[in-house]
Structure 1
Amino acid sequence: MTIAPDNARQGASPHRYRAMRDFVESTDDTIPGKFEITKEGIVHDMMSPIGRHELTTLRLRKRLEKLMPEEIVAHTGRPDVEDEPEGIMRRPDIMVIAEADMEGQGAFDPRTLIAAVEIVSRSNPDNDWVTKLRDYPLIGIPVYAVFDPRTGTGAVLTDIHNTPGGPRYATRKDFVYGEDVTIADWTIPTDGLPRYEAEGDERH
C-alpha cells in the first residue's frame, strides 16, 4: 500500500520529506509491516515477512557470505539506505556492503552499497518489480537482484545509465530458480530456494 501526498508524484519538498521520515521513524516497531519512502510517498508493506520470504533471505545471505571476503558482508535489517535530496528511504532485504561503510550514525549512503537484493513480497510485488527498479538506480545502487518466490524466477540489473526519465539500469539478466546467478563479483546457486505456496497457505 502506498500512502501518497497529493503532490508526491512531482517529488516531495525537503520539509515534506522530513515529515514523512519522522512519521516512518515514529511508527517503526509499533505498526506491523515495513515502511519505506519513495517518490510516490510512504510505502507500507503491511505483512511482516515470514516463512519462505525469510528463509530465502537467510539462504541467499549465507551463500553470498561464503564467497565474499571477510570485510564484505551481506547485511539484513536496519538501518535504511537514504538519499534525502532525492526523497527516498529504502530498506533492502539484503545489502552487500563493506563493513567499513557501515560505521557511523544514521542511514547508510546508498552509493556505498555493492548490491541490493530483494525477495519479492506476495502482498506488494510492484514495490520490488516497479518502484525499486526505478529508485535504486536513481540513488546509485550499482547492482539490484530480485528473487520472486511467487514464480521461481528473478533478475539481476546492472549498468546504470542516464535516460530521459532519469537513471535506469541498462542491463537485465533474467534467471529461473536452479540456475547460477552472478551478483556483483559472486556467483551463487539458486537451487533449494523456497517458493510461495498457494494463496492462503503462506501469508507472505
Structure 2
Amino acid sequence: MSIEPGEYARLRRAAERLSGVPGVGKVEIAGGAVRLSLPPVERHELAALAVAGQLNAQLPRTHPDFSARGDTALEAVGLGRLCRPDLLVFAETALESGRPTLAPHEVLLVVEIVRQSAEPAGAGDYAAMGIPFHLLVDPRDGTGVVHDEPGYTSRKEFAFGDTVTVGPWTIDTSGLLTYA
C-alpha cells in the first residue's frame, strides 16, 4: 500500500507525539493509520532476549559488524510504513547515518514476537520492503514461522522445542516460553 507523502508526514508527526506518552508500547504506522500497542509482558521480552542472544553469538561468524537489536525502528516511507519490530539484524554502521530509523535495504532479518493480546503483524510488509528473512515467534501457542526466499515464497512452520534455520543462522527454540 502506498500513501500520499503529505498524509504520511502527518501520520509521522502524530506517531512522534504519541511515542512519548507513558504506558504506550509500540507506535507504528500501517494501513494509513497510527497504531498503538501496550508494552509487552515479561515472557515476550524473554523470547526477544533469547533470540537476540543466539543471533548475536552467530553474527560475528556470518556477518561481522552486524547485530540483532530491538531498539531501532524501520521505515518505508513509500509504503507508508513505520514499524518497530522486536528485533532487527543490521550493520552497526547504519546507526552512524543520523537518521531516526533504518531503511529496509539495511536490514537482513526482522523478528516479530506476537504479543499476548494482539494478532501477529503480517509478513507482507517486510516482503514488500525486500527484507530477506522474517521470523515470527508466537508464544500464545508455542509456534512460529520462518519466511524467506524472494517475496517470502518459502514458509517453514515450527513448534517451540525445534531448532530452526533462518538464513545462515540457527535458532534453538527449546528455551522459549508460552504465555500460558
The counterpart of 2:83, out of the listed 67, 90, 94, is 90
The superposition leaves residues 167-190 of structure 1 with CA deviations (integer Å, 9 ceiling, x where unpaired) of: xx2110110111111122111211
Q: Which residue is equivalent to 1:179? A: 162
User: Quick check: 1:193 aligned with 2:179?
Assistant: no
For 1:73, the aligned partner's letter is S
CA distance in 2, matches of 1:12, 1:59: 36
For 2:39, the aligned partner's letter is S
Gaps of at least 5 residues in structure 1 are: 1-9, 162-168, 198-204
Gaps of at least 5 residues in structure 2 are: none
Q: Which residue is equivalent to 1:153? A: 143
The counterpart of 2:7, out of the listed 13, 16, 29, is 16
Q: Which residue is equivalent to 2:112? A: 118
For 1:188, the aligned partner's letter is I
The superposition leaves residues 81-117 of structure 1 with CA deviations (integer Å, 9 ceiling, x where unpaired) of: 1111111111110001111223212210112111000
- What SS does the aligned partner of 2:150 have? strand
Q: Which residue is equivalent to 1:133? A: 123
The superposition leaves residues 41-87 of structure 1 with CA deviations (integer Å, 9 ceiling, x where unpaired) of: 22211x10121000100111111111111411011113x11111111
The counterpart of 2:153, out of the listed 164, 170, 177, is 170
Q: Which residue is equivalent to 2:26? A: 34
Q: Which residue is equivalent to 2:133? A: 143
- What SS does the aligned partner of 1:19 have? helix
- What SS does the aligned partner of 1:141 have? coil
Q: Which residue is equivalent to 1:108? A: 102
8 Å contact kept, 2:2–2:78: no
Q: Which residue is equivalent to 1:7? A: none
User: Quick check: 1:56 aligned with 2:47?
Assistant: yes
8 Å contact kept, 1:38–1:87: yes
CA shift at 1:27, angstroms? 1.2
Q: TM-score, structure 2 length as denominator?
A: 0.91
Deviating 4+ runs (over 3 angstroms): none
For 1:66, the aligned partner's letter is A
CA distance in 2, matches of 1:11, 1:73: 30
CA distance in 2, matches of 1:15, 1:155: 35
The counterpart of 1:73, out of the listed 62, 67, 90, is 67
CA shift at 1:191, angstroms? 0.5
Question: How many pairs align?
Answer: 175
For 1:53, the aligned partner's letter is H
CA distance in 2, matches of 1:137, 1:44: 22
For 2:111, the aligned partner's letter is V
CA shift at 1:40, angstroms? 4.0
CA distance in 1, matches of 2:33, 2:129: 16
8 Å contact kept, 1:72–1:96: yes
